[in-house]
Structure formats: structure tokens, C-alpha cells
Structure 1
Amino acid sequence: MENKQKTTPAGGLREMSAIAMPMVVSQACETLLIFTDRLFLAQLGSTTMSAAMAGGLTSFMLMTFFIGLIGYSTALVAQYLGAGRKELCAFVVTQAALLAILATPVILAAKPLAHWFFSVLEIPAEQRHQQQLYFDILLYGTPLVLLRGSLSGFFSGIGRTRVVMLSAGVAMLVNIGANYLLIFGKLGLPALGIRGAAYGTLLGSLCALLVMLTAYLKGSNRREFEIFASLRLDRAVMGKLLRFGSPSGVELFLNLLAFTLVILIFHGHGLVTATAITIVFNWDMVSFVPLLGIQIGVLSLVGRYMGAGRPDIAERATRSGLKMTLAYSSVILLIFVSIPEVLVAVFEPRHSDAIFVEAAPLAVHMLRLASLYVLADAMMVVFSGALRGAGDTFWAMCLSVCMHWLLVPVLLVFLKVLDVPPQTAWLALIAFFLSFSGLFYWRYRMGKWKSLVVVRDRGGSS
């Protein structure tokens, strides 16, 4: 037993891989789901593809505060588990589900604001009509997204990430199949175009939620975590979720609002620029989102070992996560540099499209530039995940929000005031991003996170 412990140390690469790899696969499935939407819609025309990206981002942006708030349930569940207070893990899920239900009408009420948002940013009319249509349908899936996040936080927190992976796989397969049938009108169904893509996404999300709900209510899990006893409001657990999760929610909302503004500012530059930046961010999403799976692994293990009072093992888990992200991002860097033409050609419409022909060289150039920050992405997601898992969420929020919101005025100045080419504005954004990414490492190295206490063991309060 002693030799086995030496070869598989707590917080080591093997333990990190066991939790993180299913989440990487899960995030890859989510990415492929969105990527396939845009790939299918690109066959209908570059404008339709751009409309799906902008509409989808805006619908997600309106949910992000609650997604971030509920998402902190991963760290809270992990800390209760590490502190030996397993019976409180299910209480976290119940509080998160209550928040999901309360959030839904608030998010739906913001729909007119988003429509105004599209008009103010001067999105071309041809794109704006399809964009609003896609956005409106997706927004009705809000309760599916938030309830799914509540259950995902539970399974990620206790380390059973294969359930999340299975759920994401089901969502991907259902969505791809439904999209193919509904977008193009196969098997006698009407061709719904961009509306079919939105309906396929909702159907995939519903099936994914049912998979996780079935696993959560399974007899053995129900008994182990006393789930039925947890189906009530718990003020102490809700208070912790609100206190530590709110910074994550504010951060995610403000960051995605800034990111959405960046996309829409590019889209307001014209249909050619909109097509180019949409292609670039489609591939950027493919490269970045799987890193979030490793971040969840880091957050879960750091939370667990901080709850157990072992910051030394939490630090080892962070190093393990960093090794995984750097290995993955190095491969992405080589792909972006060596074959950007092939990546761009994937989105070529099936019919002649003058907008795509003009946008393709611009997209190739911008994709090569994107390779400059993929390694910075790797470092940022790991160290921010470690800080959040330990409870240092407020500082992580402030830095991340400042970083994202500086990109908006920079882009406006370069693209609207100085009137430089879009590739020059894109390079300026990358330079600012690189300058901020090292600050997460600096905060981590300061070590303040090692002394934070979010939950206590059975001898203390909840």
C-alpha cells in the first residue's frame, strides 16, 4: 500500500486525470455541439453562421451571472466532501436548483433589452433578423441550462465526472441529429434553417438534464447523500453559495458581456469582418473550451484538499493541472500556425458566397495571430481555477473583469476611431490579453489562498 501511494500521490497527475479527463471530454462535446450548429448553418450562408454566433452568445451572456453563481457549487460540494460533511453536498444542489428556478423569469424579462442591444451596435439588417430569431428561441432553454448546471456541480464536486461526460455526450448526439433533420428538412420534416438549430439545441439540453437527473436520483446515490432530506431551503448553505458564488457569477456575466461586445463590434464593421471573426472564434472555442474541463478538475481537487486542510496537496493538484493544459495547448498552437487555411475552408458554404471568399484570407491571418495566446490561456485557466477552488473568488473576479473590459475600449479605438484594418485591431487585443494573463500566476504565487477557510470539519459550523 505504501508503494502504491508513492506512485500515485494525492493531487498527482493520475488523480487529476481521473477527474479532469471526463470533464475535458464533456467540454469537448459541448464545443462540438455548438461548432456543428455553426458548421451546418455555414452551408446556408456566411451571414446565417454569424447570426447564430452572435445570437447564441447573447442568450448565454444573459444567463452567465446565474451560471457562475450556480457553478460555484462544484467547489462547495468538494469542500464539504473533503471536510467529511457528505450529508451537506445534496443541500448545495437544492439551493442551486432554487436559484435556477428564481432566475428564469428574470432572464426572460431581459429579452427586449437584447433586441435593443443588437440595433444600437448597428448589426447589418440581413444578419440581425436571423440573430434575434435564434436568440429568442434559445432563451427559453434557460431553466434547462441552469438546472443542468446545478447537477453538474454536484457530480464534478464529488469527483464523479463521468456522469457529466455522459450527459454532454447525449446532448451532443441529440443536438447534431436534430440539427441535421431540422435545419435541412430531412425525413419529411420542414427545413427550418436557423430556427431548427435552436430547437435542436433545446432538445439536446433537455436530454442531458434527464441523464443527470436519473443518475442523481439513483437509489445508491440517493441513500449515500440523503437526497430527499435535502429538499428544502438551508439558509447556511444558501448563504455560502451566494457569498462565494456571487463573485464568480458577476465575473462570468461581465466577462461574457465584454466578450459579446467585442464580437458585436467586429460584426458591426461589416459582413466580411463578421464572417472572418466568427470563423476565428469558432476555432478559438474549440481550442479553449476543453481547457475548462481541466479547470473544473483543478477547482474540484483544490476545493477538496483545502476542505481537508491540506493546501500542500492542493498545490500539487494545481501543478498537475498545469502540465495537462500546457501539453494540450502546445498541440493547438502548432495546428493554428501550420494549417489555418484548412481550418478556415471547413466553413466554406456549399453555394458560391462572395462574402466568404473575401473573408477567408482575413480569417487565416487572424487565426495565426490567435496562436500567440493559447499558452497564456492554459496558465490562466489553471491558476484562476486554483484560486476559486480555495475561495479566493473576489480577487480573481476583479482581475478577470478588468482584463476583459479593457478589450472593449481598445477595440473601439482601433477599429472605429483609428479605422485600422480588423487584423491590426485583433493583434492589439491579443497584446492586452497577454499582458494580463501573468497576473493570475502572481496572485497564486503570493500564497494567500492557502490560508482561506470556506467550510469547516464536523467540529465547526457549516
Structure 2
Amino acid sequence: MDTAEIRKSIFRLAWPAILEMTLHTLVWTVDTAMVGRLNPASISAVTLGAQMMFITMAVFGSVGIGATAMVARNVGAEDYGRAEKVGGQALGVGMIISTLLALTGMIFAKEIFQCVVDDPELIVLGSTYLRYVLIGGFVLIPLGVSNGILRGAGNTVVPLKAAFFANGLNIIGDYVLIFGKWGFPQLGVKGAAIATGLAQVLGAVISLYYLFSGKGGIKVHLKDLFRIDREILSKLFRLSLPAAFEMAMNDGSRLLSSFWIAQLGKVSFAANAVAIAAESVSFMPGYGFAIAATTLMGQNLGAKNVDVARRSTMKAMNYAMIFMGTVALIFLLIPQHIMALFTTDRETLLLAAQCIRIGALEQIPIAIAMVISGALKGAGDTKGPFHISLATNLGVRLPLIFLIVFVWKLNVVYIWIATALQFILEAVLMLLRYRKEKWKTLEIH
């Protein structure tokens, strides 16, 4: 495969993934804006409820990461029968986990919120939101696993289609159910939950249709969903558990950090929040090229094309660095103009602008870390990214943020310096792990 073919393969996989992530970010922004027209308790209830559901489902849904790696390896080896069987086993596991989590959340929604907050109104609204949004919880992990299987087979367009229609339904559903439009009742928080839940169901139906029909490039058979294959399941869990721990570590670290940052005061907390919202847009190219690196690494190792696997990873990393490096320049040159899109409060704007300027230093390291992590996972090395995440969070991020907030009592800009150091170290460690080239000899299919 020459350079032009590698570039074509990378962009064919990356651009739908980038657009998919853009859609998810857009719907979250619109959802927040609509709920924001209610009252503070409603905003908090929806934010907390959504975070609980999506973080929990994402951690337990990491079986999709293992499925992507195994499917890609078998597709590359042209063993489509085994790839389909892996997909069926992963999807069956995802359905069981998702059902158990959704039922638990629905039954114990009130008790869950009572453990997190002590405001009676927030407990009522939050538990109501959680019960109704978990309509989609039953299919949220199967949706993620389905998309992982499709990506492993080299199809990133179907997940984009599913996201397009699901997020469209979510936005329309929010409008008519939150505010009571077009003859529908005004349901407020409950309406937001129902709209999100139904959107997840629609997304799952679309992805599953392509999987079971074989129109997505790989066909999953019903008989493989619950017919246990211990060998496949053993490899699937061996790959997926480190990815789950990594996600739990990263999400837990961010959540704990936000609790600590809240101690710096409302302005600092708000500045950090809007700066993060602005920076999240920059991650989309990294996400897309990481998906491409994962798929191409797995498929080329399956086809015994180690050199193409290596070159694809390096090309994907370079493209991610170019795109995110461009964003870094924008963050450096016009940070106040960017933050003016997110807040009108002068004090918050100026502080957030300082944060996002520091965030420019993170962009290229994040691009490197995301793509190399994706490539390692595509090769079956999920332990490496987890160990690196563990080291950088526990060794750099959390200790430094604790010192900045509680010991040195510095402002939130120093928090961003600490996270920049974390991402720089993470990028270095990812590259060192990758260059050892142990990924070349991993057998996972």
C-alpha cells in the first residue's frame, strides 16, 4: 500500500467519526441550552443524571473496544466467520450488561441521587430524569458495541448515520416535550429524559439493522449472541477490562478535579467549565484519527502487513497533529473572542481566556496520545494505555491539582498548567510504549 492509499484509508475512516463526534457535541449543547430555560434545579438534575448514565454505560460498555480490536484483526485476516462470531458474542454481553444497569438505575434512582446530593427538589427531579432517560439505557451499551463492531470492519459511516438521526430526534423531542409544543404536554425535565432515551433507542435500531442485515460490511447472527464461546469471551474480557479501568480512571479523575476546583469559587469554576466546553471541540480531529488508527492497525496486523500498520499509525498521528496544532494557534491568538461565544460575564471571560491559552499547549500532545492509544488498542494492547492513564492521573494530575487548590491556593489557570503537564507526559509515555513495538507480536483474534 503506497502513501496515497494509506492517506485515503485514513480519511475514509476519520471524517465520519469526526462528524459523528461533532453531532454528539452539538446535541449536548442544544440539550443544555433548552434545559437551561427551566430553573437551576432542573439544570443540575439533568446534568447529574446524564453524567451518571453516560459515564457508567461508557465504562461498562468498554467491551466495544475489545470487539473493535478483535473484529479488525479477523477482517484483516479475511476470517469473516470468526469476525461475525466475535461481534455476536460482544453484542450479547453488551445487551446483558446494559439491561442489568438500566434496571438497577430505574429501581434505585432515588437512592442513587440521595447518595450524591441532599437537596430534596434535586433528588425528586434527578431521580425522575434518571428513570425516564434509562428507557435508552437498555440499548446504550449495545449501540456502542454495535458501532465498535462496525468500525472494526472498517465502516465509520453507519455510526455517523445513527448519530445523525438519533441526535435529530433528540433535539426535536427536547423542543416539543420540554416546552409542550405541537400539542404535546409540557414535561420539563421528564421531557428531556424521554427525548434522550428515545433517541438512543433509534440510534441502536439503525446500527443493529445494519449489523443483522449485513449491510454494514459485517453480519452478526442471532445464534451467536447468547451461545457462549469461552475462548472468544476470555479474549474479549482480557482486552476490554483494562479499557474499562482506563475510562473509569479518566472520568473519575475529571469528576474529582471538578469537585476540588469548585472550592476556588464560582467564577473560577465557571471559567474552567466554559474553557473545557470550548476545548472539547478541538478533540474531534484527534478522536477521528484515533478511530482510523485503531481500525487500520487491527486490520493490517490481521493481514500480516506490519509495515503498513506502522505507517498508517504515523500518518494518522501527523494528520491529527496538524489539525489540532491549528486549533492551538487559534487558542493562542484569539482566546477572548472564543470565550465570548460561551459567556458574557467579563470576569469569567477573561479568566477562561487565560485557561484556553494554556490549553493550546495541550493540543499536539493530546493528538499524539489519542492516536497512539487508538493504535495500541487496535493491536490488542489495552493494558498499556490504562497503565499510562493510571500513572499520569495519580502521579501528576490529581496531586498537582490538590496542591494548587488546598495548599498553594492558586487560581484556576494553574490547574490548566497542571493538566498540560499531564498530557505532555502522557504523549511521551504513549510514544515510548509504541516504539517498543511489542504490539507487533500480540495475538488476539
TM normalised by structure 1 equals: 0.85
Specify the alignment match of 2:253 in structure 1.
258
1:132-147 matches, within 5 Å, as 134=129, 137-139=132-134, 141-147=136-142
Greater CA drift, 312-321 or 168-177: 168-177
Name the residue aligned to 2:400: 410
- Select the residue among 422, 429, 437 that pairs with 2:427: 437
> Do the aligned residues in 2 keep the contact of 1:61 with 1:260 (CA within 8 Å)?
no
TM alignment of 1:15-414, pairs within 5 A: 15-43=9-37, 52-104=46-98, 106-108=100-102, 109=104, 115=113, 118-119=116-117, 134=129, 137-139=132-134, 141-218=136-213, 225=219, 227-231=221-225, 232-267=227-262, 269-348=264-343, 356=345, 358-406=347-395, 407-414=397-404
Where in structure 2 are there 5+ consecutive unaligned residues?
A: none
Separation (CA, whole Å) in 2 of partners of 1:337 and 1:191: 44
Return the offset for 1:400.
Answer: 1.3
Show CA shifts across 1:9-39 (max 9, x none). Answer: 4xx1111111222112112212222222223
Match of 1:449 in 2: 439
The answer to whether the 8 A contact 2:339-2:353 is kept is yes
1:422 paired residue among 406, 412, 416: 412
CA positional deviation for 1:301: 0.8
How large is the RMSD of aligned CA atoms in angstroms? 3.0
Identity of aligned residues (%): 27
Q: Between Structure 1 and Structure 2, how many residues are aligned? A: 439
Please give the alpha-carbon distance, in whole angstroms, between the structure 1 residues aligned to 2:76 and 2:359.
39
Q: In 1, are the aligned partners of 2:297 and 2:375 still within 8 Å (CA)? A: yes
Shift of 1:258: 1.3
CA shift digits 1:168-213 (9 cap, x unpaired): 1112211222223333443344444444433322222111111112
Q: 1:69·1:241 contact (CA, 8 Å) conserved in 2?
A: yes
- List gaps (5 residues or longer) in structure 1: 350-355, 456-462
> Is the alpha carbon distance of 1:440 and 1:329 closer, same or farther for their aligned partners in structure 2, counting shifts above 3 Å?
same
Shift of 1:386: 1.1
Kept in 1: contact 2:176–2:184 (CA 8 A): yes
- The amino acid across from 1:115 in the alignment is F
Greater mean alpha carbon deviation, residues 149-158 or residues 422-431: 422-431
Please report how far the alpha carbon of residue 125 of structure 1 lies from its aligned counterpart in structure 2 after TM superposition.
9.0
**Between 174-183 and 313-322, the greater mean CA deviation after superposition:** 174-183
Residues 22 and 165 of structure 1 are in contact (CA less than 8 Å); yes or no, is this contact kept in structure 2?
yes
**Mapped contact 2:84–2:219 kept (Cα < 8 A):** yes
Matched-pair contact (CA < 8 Å) for 2:274–2:343: no
Q: CA 1:413/1:226 → structure 2, altered by over 3 Å: closer, same or farther?
A: closer
**SS across alignment from 1:278:** helix
- Shift of the 274–77 alpha-carbon distance from structure 1 to 2, 3 Å rule, reads same
Letter matched to residue 366 of structure 2: D
Could you state the TM-score of these two structures normalised by the residue count of structure 2? 0.88
Q: Is the 8 A contact 1:37 1:176 kept in 2?
A: yes
